[in-house]
Structure 1
């Protein structure tokens, strides 16, 4: 649906304006940090929880963290 494309375009724009940032998307999270998770409801919730934790670490370090994910739950 274009989430990652928009996220990486925003990252490129911010970097070109000397704003430190990093993009997180399904590929760089699911193939690394969350490779042990499947697609059950519990695993999807844990996936999003871990993403939020990583994004907070980047933000705490002074970087803009761009996240391109879906959350299939209303909770």
Structure 2
């Protein structure tokens, strides 16, 4: 796993590393139209980061694998700006 240098990034990654917590966050923050399309199965965090090294001081990200209500696989990418 990529080194985590910033405390904000570490906090965010820890918060969403548990599927149940990530599911709550996604359901509370995503638009209702998207939430309605998601199944009740918890999201699965996908390892890795797409944020460039020089931007990690200000940005954290996480990719989730989710299942739709139709049983299809979808991916949700979350990018968080912190200060």
TM-score by length of 2: 0.28
Q: Which structure dedicates a bigger proportion of its chain to helix?
A: 1
TM-score by length of 1: 0.29
Specify which structure has the bigger relative contact order, considering alpha-carbon pairs within 8 angstroms and separated by 6 or more residues.
Answer: 1
Q: Which structure dedicates a bigger proportion of its chain to strand?
A: 2
